[in-house]
Amino acid sequence: MVGIGFKLFTEAHSAPELVKLSKQAEDAGFSFVSVSDHFHPWISNHGRSGFAWCTIGGIAEATSRIRVATGVTCPLVRYHPAIVAQAAATAATMMPGRFELGLGTGEDLNEHITGGLWPASEPVRLDMLREAVRIIRTLWSGGMKDYYGTYYTVDNAELFELPEQLPEIRIAAQGAMAAGVAGEIGDALIHFEDKPEEVIQTFRSSGGEGKSCMVEFAVCYGRSEEEAKRTAYEWFPIAANQGELNWVLPTHTHFEQLQQMVTPEDIAEKVICGPDPEQIIKKIRQLADLGFDSVLIHQVGPDQQAFIDLARDVILPEFEAREARPKAPAAPGLPGR
């Protein structure tokens, strides 16, 4: 069966609210939560974008069972891979056996802010991600490490706060190229639902066979379909953006300009809108049938509690084996050069 998770959207909710929601999600029966890791919100209307790693510390104290993942962290520019290795190792000591590190190539929206170059070329970004993962695993193997690579340097670094059980590394992929790299370097996959069949097949054929596959999709649960469409348009217009726009635009102002070019109906083609839980249940079953063992649901808009209640009472009881997912051994640590 499939594990069902709840998205903690840092761009639209405060850190204290997200900690509270994590506990409510645990009590409702969700098997995991995923915390987005942004410096900026997508649009100014979101109004938030707290530091994900502080929020994760609060979640660790507020919860006791639910698995927690970053969804996702970019270890390319804004964070050096060594800092991500340290942050994830510490988080894993606070939540033994239930923290997972989600990594991806990120967006210019967040990565340009320190003045570093976030490459427009996807192959370059993926090469950077390969090297970043190599560094993270190297530092997790313990001891003093040096690394001199194409993109990053690590000089006399040692992590003194290592968990007994290292986190799995789940790699994000939107298309086939990233899915191939995810299968190559990751312990698991996350796909933000766009081309699920192509991505999961490529992941499996590239080294991901037998590894966990997660997919995220968005819903906007509301009292009526029309009301939900309006809310989704107001809060999640990026769902309608085509191609690579979400990855290459540098400011929330650009995303707000794009919002003027789409309609609530355009958003509703990508976001399940309205009060009918059967649409959500059907979507979960479709994705599970494709081979995704974990399904992450992002409830769009300010009203998170109503959706958690719906999930507790109607959606989650439809799926009994909420914890089921394959466990793949972590890839071996790679020595520094």
Name the band, by pLDDT with cuts 50, 70 and 90, for residue 186: very high
pLDDT greater than 50 at residue 47: yes
Residue 109: both structure tokens together: 């929206």
pLDDT (mean) for 68-89: 98
d(CA 242, CA 236): 14
For 130, phi and psi rounded to 5 degrees? -55, -45
Q: Considering only residues 194 and 2, tell me which one the structure prediction assigns the higher pLDDT.
A: 2
Tokens of 229: 């469409």
Mean pLDDT calculated for residue range 233-248:
93
Mean of pLDDT values over 31-40: 98
Q: What is the share, in percent, of the chain residues with pLDDT greater than 90?
A: 91
Provide the H-helix boundaries in 43-80: 52-62
Going by the DSSP 8-state scheme, the letter that residue 71 receives in this structure is S
User: CB-side exposure of 267: number of CA atoms within 13 Å?
Assistant: 27
Amino acid at 211: K
Per-residue pLDDT at 337 exceeds 80:
no
What pLDDT score was predicted for residue 125? 97
**Among the four given CATH numbers 3.20.20.30, 3.90.78.10, 3.40.462.10, 3.50.50.60, the one describing domain 3-318:** 3.20.20.30
- Sign of the Cα torsion 105, 108, 109, 114 reads positive
pLDDT of residue 5: 98
H/E element holding 307?
A: helix 305-310
For residues 184-211, average pLDDT: 96
Q: What is the pLDDT of residue 220?
A: 98
More confident site: 219 or 243: 219
Query: By the 8 A CB rule, do 97 and 128 touch?
Result: no
Position 324 pLDDT exceeds 90: no
| Contacts of 132-135 spanning 24+ positions with Cβ under 8 A | 132/75, 132/76, 132/81, 132/84, 132/103, 133/75, 133/81, 133/103, 133/169, 133/171, 133/185, 133/186, 134/185, 134/334, 135/81, 135/82, 135/85, 135/336
* Other C-beta atoms lying within 10 Å of the C-beta of residue 97: 10
Rounded-to-integer distance, Cα 296 and Cα 138, Å:
30
DSSP 145: E
Residues 77 and 109: beta-carbon distance below 8 Å: no
SS3 content of the chain, % helix, strand, coil (to 5): 45, 15, 40
* Whole-prediction pTM: 0.93
pLDDT in tens, 278-296: 999 999 999 999 999 999 9
- Percent pLDDT > 70 in the chain is 95
Confidence at residue 230, expressed as pLDDT on a 0 to 100 scale: 97
What mean pLDDT comes out for the span 219-245? 95
- One-letter amino acid at 93 equals T
d(CA 185, CA 169): 9
**Residue 157 β-bridge partners:** 145
SS (H, E, C) 252-267: HHHHHHHHCCCCHHHH
Residue 160 CA: distances (Å) to CA of 75, 135, 142: 20, 16, 8
